[in-house]
């Protein structure tokens, strides 16, 4: 049986959390129709794949989350998730695998890392399609800064100096990187803009682009990972200095649900914008 893998690589701040919540909620329905959104790679976001396949030298929050430090630990983790995926595939007739992790675009900036993704699925898939959403860079930067503060960031809000921008803000380089391993014809680019998306909505656009045989319900229209306003972001920036997300022992549980609380509080709070 031929099998195809769809790799949704983000980018960040293009509705990826909403897409992942949709796929997770409809796991059983999709599976019955021969489509797998692998729990083995991470229950909501498939970030286990990103944590496993980056170069050994990298030690970011993903690696810390899964307790991955040494080469031996990373090799073991890579083997475990591959075995778990194979077992998950054995439970039914799966023709399509949908993988979604925005970290594949934001953290994978070396050719060998992208090639490692392809090698991971060797023997599992016969065909690939890479799907990427691109957003206007100024809007992308503004929204990403909000997320950075939610996850413990303390940096100032300013445009990066020329030559010091993050890799995934260079869209041409990003597309060339993934095209080199998977072929230009296998990379599908969608513009993250209401006027360009099917139905003006990224989840609806994702369903249409991948021809998923699942209808979207009202619960799927809930907004996920909403950007904070300028006042809340400034509060978090100062809080993060004194209450970091990670300590020497790992994830700092004393932060509790501070971000969810801030998201739920209603105050007059204008969006954070460049140049203001």
**Residue 65 to residue 47: CA distance in whole angstroms:** 10
Contact 58, 107 (CB under 8 A): yes
* Mean pLDDT to the nearest integer, 129-154: 92
Residue 163 has pLDDT above 60, yes or no: yes
pLDDT digits (tens, 9 = 90+) for 209-221: 999 999 887 566 6
* Mean pLDDT to the nearest integer, 232-245: 93
Confidence bin at 78 (pLDDT 50/70/90): very high
Confidence bin at 179 (pLDDT 50/70/90): very high
Count CA atoms closer than 13 A to 214's CA, side-chain side.
27
Residue 143 has pLDDT above 80, yes or no: yes
Q: What is the pLDDT of residue 25?
A: 93
* Mean pLDDT to the nearest integer, 128-154: 92
pLDDT digits (tens, 9 = 90+) for 36-76: 999 999 988 999 999 999 999 999 989 988 999 999 999 99
CA dihedral 45→17→144→146, nearest 10 degrees, is -110
Q: What is the pLDDT of residue 33?
A: 96
Count CA atoms closer than 13 A to 254's CA, side-chain side.
9
Confidence bin at 159 (pLDDT 50/70/90): confident
């Amino acid at each position: 049986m031929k099998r195809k893998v769809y790799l949704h690589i983000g980018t960040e701040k293009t509705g990826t959390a909403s897409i992942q919540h949709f796929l997770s909620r409809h796991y059983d329905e999709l599976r019955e129709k021969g489509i797998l959104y692998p729990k083995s790679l991470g229950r909501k976001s498939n970030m286990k794949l990103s944590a496993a396949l980056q170069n050994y030298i990298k030690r970011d929050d993903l690696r810390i989350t899964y307790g991955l430090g040494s080469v031996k630990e990373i090799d073991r983790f890579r083997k475990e998730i591959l075995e778990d995926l194979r077992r998950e595939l054995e439970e039914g007739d799966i023709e399509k695998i949908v993988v979604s992790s925005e970290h594949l675009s934001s953290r994978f900036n070396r050719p060998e890392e992208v090639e490692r993704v392809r090698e991971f699925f060797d023997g599992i898939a016969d065909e690939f399609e890479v799907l990427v959403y691109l957003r206007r860079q100024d809007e992308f930067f503004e929204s990403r800064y909000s997320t950075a503060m939610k996850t413990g960031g303390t940096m100032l809000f300013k445009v990066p100096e020329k030559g010091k921008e993050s890799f995934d803000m260079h869209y041409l380089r990003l597309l060339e990187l993934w095209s080199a391993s998977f072929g230009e014809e296998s990379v599908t680019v969608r513009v993250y803009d209401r006027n360009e998306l099917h139905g003006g909505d990224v989840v609806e656009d994702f369903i249409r682009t991948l021809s998923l045989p699942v209808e979207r319900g009202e619960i799927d229209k809930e907004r996920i990972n909403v950007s904070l306003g300028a006042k809340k972001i400034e509060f978090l920036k100062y809080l993060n200095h004194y209450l970091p997300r990670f300590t020497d022992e790992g994830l700092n549980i004393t932060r509790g649900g501070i971000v969810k609380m801030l998201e739920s509080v209603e105050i007059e709070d204008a969006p954070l914008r460049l140049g203001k």
